[in-house]
Structure 1
């Protein structure tokens, strides 16, 4: 427990420092899900943000494991995949400490991870439910305006896209984008053959998420 308290203090001091570099990492998790899917997605989103909204994100995202102290080096974590997700108790505690101390996690369901994820998030924030963000939430009105809320990028089950969040002390610490599949829209054009306008919507929504975390 002393270790978690130390990490929390370190994170608060360093994340609050204006000179800290803007870093993003992919979250590697256990359970068999393909945490490594959409390999071109984050690099493309980073390039779009640096070119269009004035961020100075490192060109290459890092990779960190849920239970590693290294997650505290990254103000922004991104998680995706299609299948099973498992957090040990220690990993859940590490992630909870990270989020409560100032970190942010964006989880983009690449199709199929939602039921497993909900169960594991119960370990991270017991007795806390994911709540849907309304279309009036500031995350949809950052650099780009999404008056209807989260855009639909891939159909999957044909359900409406949802942006679900967990808040700590009135701060959005976790965003779960479901039935939207933003990451597929961030990938290289030839991967999914999405029309230009669909990729643009995905990248602009991704830029809004980045802006919300780094520029507010």
Structure 2
């Protein structure tokens, strides 16, 4: 077991509270979009599925050694993304040692992020996650897979993953906009049923991470 894995295990199991963070990246994209999303998801999970996630959501640079403090990192935005060589190495070490990165296309990120993901795992392509995967089963059932939260280009919502030994380490949600559904109600004026679907799907993601 390398020292990176040992560090992750110590950091994530020493206390009673899990930590999550928003990813800060380069390239000009608005990594800071949806500021209320992750705090709202954390609150929902702590109230409904008995997680003990710290309600104070951090921001972490993907090139920083500090990413090992967080078993879950959420990344979103509308525009360009550029991973440096250091970012790529740091993310690869983090993800192969037990970390999890969720990338949610807030609309406009897709053409950029796919190229950057390929830098991290050039021999391990994104694979569409089928609707019968455990990610869509617990604790809330989504028999049709990823729900549609906001309409973009009249395309179906898709969940893609990078798998390592049958475990998802990187989740990319496309044509869905989960993060918008997690935002405060007045931000997008989504119906409560839509926000509920988004929060429940987000809960499934965190449940998967902390139980697999």
1:145 aligns with 2:134: no
Which residue does the alignment assign to 1:28?
24
Which residue does the alignment assign to 1:182?
178
TM-score (norm 2): 0.96
Tell me the matched-pair count: 211
Question: What are the superposed Cα offsets for residues 101-133 of structure 1, whole Å, 9 maximum, x if unpaired?
Answer: 000011110001011001111111112210000
Question: What are the superposed Cα offsets for residues 168-208 of structure 1, whole Å, 9 maximum, x if unpaired?
Answer: 12211010000000000000111101001000000000011
Which residue does the alignment assign to 1:104?
100
Which residue does the alignment assign to 1:11?
8
8 Å CA contact 1:152–1:181 kept in 2: the answer is yes
* Cα separation, 2, equivalents of 1:152 and 1:18: 37
Among 98, 103, 110, the alignment partner of 1:114 is 110
User: What is the CA distance between 1:73 and its match in structure 2?
Assistant: 0.5
Supply the RMSD in Å over aligned alpha carbons. Answer: 1.3
Question: What are the superposed Cα offsets for residues 136-174 of structure 1, whole Å, 9 maximum, x if unpaired?
Answer: 000001110000000000011110000000011221101
Structure 1: give runs of 5+ residues left out of the alignment: none
Residues 133, 18 of structure 1: alpha-carbon distance in 2 compared, 3 angstrom cutoff: farther
Structure 2: give runs of 5+ residues left out of the alignment: none
* Cα separation, 2, equivalents of 1:22 and 1:12: 12
| Most deviating of 199-208 and 121-130 | 121-130
Which residue does the alignment assign to 1:67?
63
Among 198, 201, 209, the alignment partner of 2:205 is 209
* Cα separation, 2, equivalents of 1:152 and 1:193: 15
Question: What are the superposed Cα offsets for residues 38-64 of structure 1, whole Å, 9 maximum, x if unpaired?
Answer: 001111111110111100111121110
* Cα separation, 2, equivalents of 1:184 and 1:114: 16
